[in-house]
């Protein structure tokens, strides 16, 4: 049995380790990702997207969520995954993020399919391994071991902050 | 009589709260305060009879203090108030501790001294004693309040003014947020204090015109009194003295012992300014701007000048500026000395039943109403519903539409405030400027009741003040110069607001020297803003003053003339989606006209289509739109396309290409050209089609899109999709570097 206390993060670029708790897991291409379930506002079907010109390619545009205009990002483009055709499992996870300037905001994420809400103990979560700089791991807060594979836990606050900070860096 | 402990605790809390209030309002010179405090302490004694030590001792201490005052003059002394201000929180804490079965705090040792020597008098109470108890209180309390009373009733010679007046300009550094304070209470305090200070400023300005207006004096007195109370509740002891002195000054005026001359008004305004600075800083710190920072306020100096005014100012001979004394000298209309409610504008009567609402809630409500309007139009325009031919249904739908429209109108009006407050600020400014520069300026306000969006009013304040400064500083001439020019020595600045076709128009008009087109042009050439051979008409030249880094003032004053003014003004107005125009006649004056939208929440837009996408162009920026005829569009070699709009060559921006969105029309004669303008510049936007005109609720695009400049926001269109609102200012100023397609006609 592993130790019950979460391991201290092997801090790389100040990445904090993900906290144990419930995570919503979803698929992007062939990989599984997870975000804290408390960040999830709702899950909706794909809806008409209004593209916004001259933005990084992972920013798909904006959508109308019952009268609110919220940005929509495609994490596959962000993480450099192959863009899969949209299927009937594709959906939008509407999350609530904390933006550095405007406080709490809604943020839509296109995913290839939602898996489940899983409870990860501290012992399930391992710090992000060092990929030797070949992979940009700054948005991954930890790797969770589940029965059907490893889920990458990501920090959406940081992703959105990076978008806002410098569009040119991401391009 | 024994009380159930729980009942006793409840009652004790109640009484302590009342005592706190009483203490906050207590006035060392008034007799009634002591009686009520005495009564409350008596009740506390009976309620808390069954409590463990040291609560009974504390009550005994309080009794001693009260008895001591009752035995002397029956009034509160500053020392006693200071003691009770410490005693009340202590007892509160003690009762709390008793309730929680926690150890009761020990009694401050200095209090025990009060009970041992029973005959201690207030005067001999050592000041170091208070220093230990409440360091904040010391500065203020140590100053004997009675001197004011003495100054008022006794002859001036009985008090040596030099003793009272500290060195001019002395400041007191205060920490802004009181320790262990409740943020919510502080917010309430701030909001109320801001209102009161506003009221004070307005009242003072009325008084300046009519120094004996009893209504205004009363309202000022009440406002300072309330402020003093609030300051006391918030334990902002260092302000208490100041508010108290100001209150005394007005009280003297109210009782006819003192006449409010120009000096007095300057002093009152100065005092209000100190309070305003403090409240502004407090509000900032509550909102997280450098919390805990201390600021220096000239409180002691101000108190000194109030006092010296009270002592010496009652004989208004020291300065000629105090001369206007309407009671005696008013030649044409002899006013009766107590002019009750003389001016209707004096005190805006506190509206019956006004509710303070958190702006966040209000914005939430307005958002929801906006969504409802969209949902409503989606229902009404639903093709499936349209196929049902039922008179009943269409009646219901039109009723729904009517109600939603009314609801929207109502919700929007919630955000609307009259521009009066901003105009009042200007009144104050003009007064100060006139005094400072030795000019005579009369300000005429028109349409103060015009309502516009709260955010606009807030954002408008700075540019407005700047323009007024310009008018007063550069526009209005000195009295002798005016006379030499055959004008009245008193210059007039007119500030008016009115509605005009869905916009608010605000005009600033002065009858000063006007803009000198040749001088402006020469200056602009000198500054390298235009070349000498530039061909500009009069308006074009006037517009140069909006260019960054332009200033024609020969001498730079601290008011205006640093050359960073008008371009900022224009930017601010444009940020509000408004525009500004100038008109001027040399020697006759200048008029600035601002056109502003009624609200920031809704704009009227022209809906254009490019491929599948639709975009909104704010109507205010659209000059015209047309389908070009063959031959109107020319390709300028290597630089892009131009269209000849009524003799003016205007560059074309193909929106579809610029926005990288698929478009259907490439031939200019098959599409539509929308001429948009920003300031003096114009550009032709080439789009596929013109869909129509629509009012849309503006939504922010948020942080994610902060770095793009193409769009100013988004709106939900009738079919529920999001339409983007074009940022016309950015598009017009866009560099023409983009290579253009090879199509030409």
Considering only CB atoms, which residues of chain A are within 8 Å of chain B? Answer: 48, 50-55, 59, 61-64, 66-71, 73, 99-102, 105, 107, 160-161, 163-164, 166-168
Residue B349 has pLDDT above 50, yes or no: no
Candidates A65, A67, A158, A166, partner chain B, best to mutate (most B CBs within 10 A): A67
What residues contact A22, with CB distance under 8 A and at least 6 apart? A36, A37, A38, A117, A118, A119, A120
Q: pLDDT class for B159, splitting at 50, 70, 90?
A: very low
Of A113-117, B16-20, B158-162, B551-555, the least confident: B158-162
Stated as kind and residue range, the H or E segment containing A25 is strand A21-28
Pairs of CB atoms within 8 A across A/B: 89
How far apart are the C-alpha atoms of A124 and A118, rounded to whole Å?
A: 11
List CB contacts (< 8 A) between A54 and chain B.
Answer: 659-660, 708, 710
- How buried is B65 (Cβ within 10 angstroms: 0-12 exposed, 13-18 middle, 19+ buried)? buried
What is the pLDDT, as a whole number, of residue A135?
60
**CA B316, CA B312: separation in Å to the nearest integer?**
8
- What pLDDT does B161 receive? 37
How far is residue A167's CA from residue B709's CA, in Å, rounded to a whole number? 12
User: Per the structure block, which two tokens stand in for A70?
Assistant: 């919220």
Confidence of residue A102 (pLDDT cuts 50, 70, 90): low
Rounded Cα distance between B194 and B190, Å, is 6
Determine whether the interchain pair A48/B721 forms a contact, defined as Cβ–Cβ distance below 8 Å.
yes
| Angle between helix B299-312 and helix B146-153 axes, rounded to 10 deg | 20
Q: What is the CATH number of domain B418-597?
A: 3.30.565.10
Which residues of A fall within a CB distance of 8 Å from B720? 48, 64
Assigned fold of B1-134: 1.20.120
Q: Which residue has the higher pLDDT, B480 or B112?
A: B480
| Other beta carbons within 10 Å of A165 | 15
Cis upstream peptide for B109 (omega within 30°): no
Tokens (6 digits) for B47? 């309620």
Q: Does B531 touch chain A (CB under 8 A)?
A: no
Cβ <8 Å between B704 and A163: yes
In tens, the pLDDT along A111-153 reads 988 988 988 888 888 887 776 665 667 788 888 888 888 888 8
Q: Do B660 and A54 touch (CB under 8 A)?
A: yes
- Tell me which chain B residue has its CA closest to the CA of residue A73: B704
> Which of these ranges, A39-48, B72-81, B266-275, B710-719, has the smallest mean pLDDT?
B72-81
Looking at residue B123, the DSSP 8-state letter turns out to be T
Compare all CA atoms of chain A with the CA of B372 and give the residue at the minimum distance.
Answer: A67
Tell me the β-bridge partners of A111: A91
Sign of the dihedral through C-alpha B560, B566, B572, B576: positive
CA gap B340, B338 in Å, rounded:
6
Instruction: State the best of A56, A59, A60, A64 to mutate against chain B, taking most chain B CBs within 10 Å.
Output: A64
Structure tokens at B556: 């730079």
Q: Which residue of B has its CA nearest to A63?
A: B722
Which tokens go with A36?
Answer: 């804290």
Which CATH architecture fits B143-317?
Answer: Up-down Bundle (1.20)
Give helix B78-99 / helix B5-25 axis angle, nearest 10°: 160
Closest by CA position to B720, among listed A42, A67, A51, A110: A67
pLDDT of residue B257: 75
Q: Where are the domains of chain B?
A: 1-134, 143-317, 362-415, 418-597, 602-733
pLDDT of residue B320: 37
* Cβ contact B702–A70 (<8 Å): yes
- Across the interface, of A48, A53, A168, the residue whose CB is closest to B659 is A53
* 3 state DSSP class of B623: strand
**CA–centroid distance for A148 within its chain:** 19
Alpha-carbon distance of B336 to B338, in angstroms, equals 6
- pLDDT of B735 reads 65
Distance CA B679, CA B578 (A): 10
- Nearest-by-CA chain A residue for B374: A67
User: Where does residue B647 fall: left (phi above 0), alpha (psi -120 to 50 degrees), or beta otherwise?
Assistant: left
Of B367, B704, B711, Cβ closest to residue A71: B704
Q: Which residues of B426-453 are buried (b: 16+ CB within 10 A; e: fewer)?
A: bbbbbbebbeeeebebebebebbebbbb
Query: What residue has token string 């006794």?
Result: B154
Which of B690, B671, B674 minimizes the C-alpha distance to B745?
A: B671
What string of DSSP letters covers B544-565? GGGSTT----SS--SSS-SS-S
Q: Which two tokens stand for residue B264?
A: 């007095």
**How is A81-118 classified by DSSP, letter by letter?**
---PPP-TT-EEEEEEEEETTTEEEEEEEEESEEEEEE
pLDDT 10s digits, B73-104: 666 777 777 788 888 888 888 888 877 777 77
- With a cut of 90, say whether residue A43 has pLDDT above it: yes
Least confident among A121-130, B165-174, B335-344: B335-344
CB-based contact A26:A112 (threshold 8 Å)? yes
- pLDDT of res. B724: 92
Instruction: Please state the rounded mean pLDDT for residues B536-547.
Output: 78
Closest residue in chain A to residue B657, using alpha carbons only: A53
Domain B602-733: homologous superfamily in CATH: CheA-289, Domain 4 (2.40.50.180)
Q: Does B363 touch chain A (CB under 8 A)?
A: no
Q: What's the CA gap between B236 and B297, in Å, rounded?
A: 13
Query: Between the ranges B29-33, B117-121, B539-543, B691-695, where is the mean pLDDT highest?
Result: B691-695
Equal CATH topology for B1-134 and B143-317: yes
Whole-number Å distance between alpha carbons of A5 and A3: 6
pLDDT at B619 over 60: yes
- Which of A93, A52, A58 is closest to A74 using CA atoms? A58
Q: Which fold has domain B362-415?
A: Helix Hairpins (1.10.287)
CA angle at B546 for the pair B706 and B569, rounded to the nearest 5°: 55
And the tokens for B564? Answer: 């960073």
Question: B673: closest CA among B598, B745, B601, B589?
Answer: B745
Nearest CA distance, B660 vs chain A (angstrom): 6
- Whole-angstrom distance, CA of residue B430 vs CA of residue B530: 34
Reported confidence tier of residue A94, pLDDT bands at 50, 70, 90: very high
Burial (Cβ within 10 Å: 0-12, 13-18, ≥19) of residue B287: exposed
Question: Strand A103-111 vs strand A68-74: parallel, antiparallel, or unpaired?
Answer: parallel
Tokens matching residue B697: 């609720």
Of B367, B706, B708, the CB nearest to A67: B367
- Give CA–CA dist B310/B253, Å, rounded: 10
The end-to-end CA distance of chain B, in Å, is 105
Cβ atoms B492, B511 nearer than 8 A: yes
Inspect the interface and report whether the beta carbons of A50 and B704 lie closer than 8 Å.
Answer: no
Interface ipTM: 0.78
Q: Does B287 touch chain A (CB under 8 A)?
A: no
Q: Which residue of A has its CA nearest to B613?
A: A50
Verdict on whether the full-model pTM lies above 0.80: no
Stretch B556-577: mean pLDDT, rounded?
A: 65
pLDDT interval class at B608 (50, 70, 90) = very high
- Using pLDDT thresholds of 50, 70 and 90, give the confidence band for residue A92: very high
Closest CA in chain B for residue A98: B703
Q: What is the pLDDT of residues B238-294, one digit of tens each?
A: 787 788 888 888 888 877 777 777 778 888 888 888 888 888 888 888 777 777 777
Residue of A171, A124, A162 lying closest to A13 (CA atoms): A162
The counts of H helices and E strands in chain B are 26, 20
Q: How far apart are CA B437 and CA B473, in angstroms?
A: 8
B9 vs B510: CA distance, rounded Å: 67
- Dihedral sign from CA coordinates of B269, B274, B277, B279: negative
Q: Which B-chain residues 291-320 have CB contacts (< 8 A) with chain A?
A: none
- What gap in Å lies between CA A41 and CA B216, rounded to an integer? 54
Q: What is the CATH number of domain A21-170?
A: 2.40.50.180
- pLDDT above 70 coverage of chain B, percent: 79
Which segment of B115-119, B436-440, B604-608 scores lowest on mean pLDDT?
Answer: B115-119
Full strand arrangement of the beta sheet holding B622-626: B622-626, B672-678, B681-687, B648-654, B640-645, B633-636
Contact B563, B545 (CB under 8 A): no
- What is the arithmetic mean of pLDDT over A48-71? 86
Q: Which among A52, A92, A97, A170 is the top mutation candidate for probing chain B, defined by the most B β-carbons within 10 Å of its own β-carbon?
A: A52
Nearest residue, CB atoms, A53 vs list B371, B710, B714:
B710
Q: What percent of chain B has pLDDT over 90?
A: 3
Of the candidates B219, B199, B193, B191, the one whose C-alpha atom is nearest the C-alpha of residue B275 is B193
pLDDT interval class at B548 (50, 70, 90): low
CB count within 10 Å of CB B583 equals: 16
pLDDT tier at B545, thresholds 50, 70, 90: confident
For residue B477, CA distances in Å to B514, B551, B585 come to 10, 17, 15
Q: Which of B372, B267, B314 is nearest to B153 (CA)?
A: B314
């Amino acid at each position: 049995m592993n130790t019950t206390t979460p391991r201290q993060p092997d801090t790389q670029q100040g990445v904090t380790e993900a906290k144990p708790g419930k995570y919503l897991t979803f698929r992007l291409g062939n990989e599984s990702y997870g975000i804290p379930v408390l960040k999830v506002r709702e899950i909706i079907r794909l809806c008409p997207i209004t593209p916004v010109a001259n933005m990084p390619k992972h920013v798909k545009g904006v959508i109308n969520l019952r009268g609110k205009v919220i940005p929509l990002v495609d994490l596959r483009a962000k993480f450099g995954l192959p863009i899969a055709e949209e299927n009937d499992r594709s959906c939008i996870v509407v999350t609530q993020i904390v933006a550095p300037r405007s406080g709490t905001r809604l943020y839509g994420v296109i995913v290839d399919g939602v898996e489940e809400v899983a409870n990860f103990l501290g012992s399930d979560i391992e710090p992000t391994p060092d990929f030797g700089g070949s992979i940009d791991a700054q948005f991954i807060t930890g790797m969770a071991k589940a029965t059907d594979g490893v889920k990458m836990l990501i920090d959406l606050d940081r992703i959105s902050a990076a978008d806002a900070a410098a569009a040119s860096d991401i391009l | 009589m024994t009380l159930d402990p729980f009942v006793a605790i409840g009652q004790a809390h109640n009484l302590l709260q009342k005592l706190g209030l009483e203490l906050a309002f207590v006035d060392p010179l008034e007799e009634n305060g002591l009686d009520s405090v005495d009564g409350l302490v008596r009740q506390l004694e009976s309620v808390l009879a069954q409590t463990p030590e040291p609560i009974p001792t504390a009550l005994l201490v309080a009794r001693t203090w009260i008895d001591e005052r009752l035995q002397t003059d029956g009034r509160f002394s500053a020392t006693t108030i200071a003691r009770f201000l410490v005693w009340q929180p202590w007892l509160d804490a003690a009762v709390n501790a008793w309730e929680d079965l926690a150890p009761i705090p020990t009694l401050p040792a200095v209090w025990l001294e009060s009970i041992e020597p029973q005959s201690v008098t207030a005067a001999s109470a050592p000041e170091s004693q208070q220093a230990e108890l409440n360091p904040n209180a010391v500065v203020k309390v140590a100053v004997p309040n009675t001197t004011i009373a003495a100054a008022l009733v006794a002859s001036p010679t009985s008090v040596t003014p030099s003793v009272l007046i500290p060195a001019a300009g002395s400041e007191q550094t205060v920490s802004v947020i009181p320790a262990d304070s409740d943020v919510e209470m502080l917010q309430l305090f701030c909001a109320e204090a801001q209102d009161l200070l506003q009221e004070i400023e307005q009242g003072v300005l009325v008084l300046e015109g009519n120094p004996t207006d009893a209504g205004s004096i009363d309202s000022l007195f009440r406002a300072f009194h309330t402020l003093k109370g609030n300051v006391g509740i918030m334990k902002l002891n260092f302000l208490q003295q100041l508010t108290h002195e100001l209150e005394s000054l007005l009280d003297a005026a109210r009782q006819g012992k003192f006449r409010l001359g120009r000096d007095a008004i300057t002093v009152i305004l100065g005092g209000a300014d100190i309070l305003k600075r403090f409240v502004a800083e407090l509000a900032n710190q509550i909102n997280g701007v450098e919390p805990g920072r201390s600021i220096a306020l000239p409180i002691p100096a101000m108190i000194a000048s109030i006092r010296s005014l009270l002592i010496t100012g009652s004989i208004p001979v020291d300065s000629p500026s105090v001369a206007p004394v309407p009671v005696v000298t008013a030649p044409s209309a002899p006013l009766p000395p107590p002019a009750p409610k003389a001016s209707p504008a004096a005190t805006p009567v506190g509206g019956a039943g006004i509710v303070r609402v958190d702006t966040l809630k209000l914005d939430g409500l307005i958002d929801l109403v906006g969504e409802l309007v969209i949902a409503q139009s989606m229902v009404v325009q639903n093709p499936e519903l349209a196929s049902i031919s039922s008179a009943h249904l269409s009646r219901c739908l039109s009723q729904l539409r009517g109600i939603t429209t009314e609801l929207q109108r109502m919700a929007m009006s919630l955000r609307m405030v009259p521009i009066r407050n901003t105009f009042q600020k200007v009144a104050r400014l003009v007064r100060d400027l006139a005094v400072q520069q030795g000019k005579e300026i009369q300000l005429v306000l028109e349409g103060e009741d015009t309502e516009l969006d709260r955010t606009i009013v807030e954002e408008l304040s700075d540019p407005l003040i700047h323009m007024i400064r310009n008018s007063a500083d550069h526009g209005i001439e000195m009295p002798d110069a005016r006379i030499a020019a055959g004008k009245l020595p008193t210059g007039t600045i007119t500030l008016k607001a009115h509605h005009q076709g869905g916009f608010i128009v605000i005009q600033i008009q002065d009858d000063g020297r006007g803009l000198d087109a040749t001088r402006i042009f020469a200056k602009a050439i000198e500054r390298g803003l235009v070349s000498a051979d530039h061909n500009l008409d009069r308006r074009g030249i006037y517009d140069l003053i909006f260019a960054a880094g332009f200033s024609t003032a020969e001498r730079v004053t601290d008011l205006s003339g640093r050359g960073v003014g008008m371009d900022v003004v224009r930017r601010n107005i444009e940020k509000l989606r408004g525009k500004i125009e100038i008109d001027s006649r040399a020697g006759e004056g200048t008029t600035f006209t601002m056109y502003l939208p009624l609200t920031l929440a809704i704009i009227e837009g022209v809906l254009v289509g490019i491929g599948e996408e639709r975009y909104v162009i704010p109507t205010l920026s659209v000059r015209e739109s047309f389908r070009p005829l063959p031959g109107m569009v020319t390709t300028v070699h290597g630089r892009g396309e131009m269209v000849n709009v009524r003799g003016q060559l205007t560059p074309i921006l193909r929106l579809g290409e610029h926005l990288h969105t698929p478009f259907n029309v490439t031939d200019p004669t098959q599409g539509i050209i929308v001429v948009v303008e920003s300031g003096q510049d114009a550009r032709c936007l080439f789009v596929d089609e013109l869909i129509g005109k629509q009012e849309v609720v503006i939504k922010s695009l948020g942080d994610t899109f902060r770095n793009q400049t193409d769009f100013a926001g988004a709106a939900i269109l009738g079919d529920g999709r999001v339409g983007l609102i074009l940022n016309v200012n950015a598009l017009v100023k866009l560099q023409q570097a983009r290579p253009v397609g090879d199509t030409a006609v």
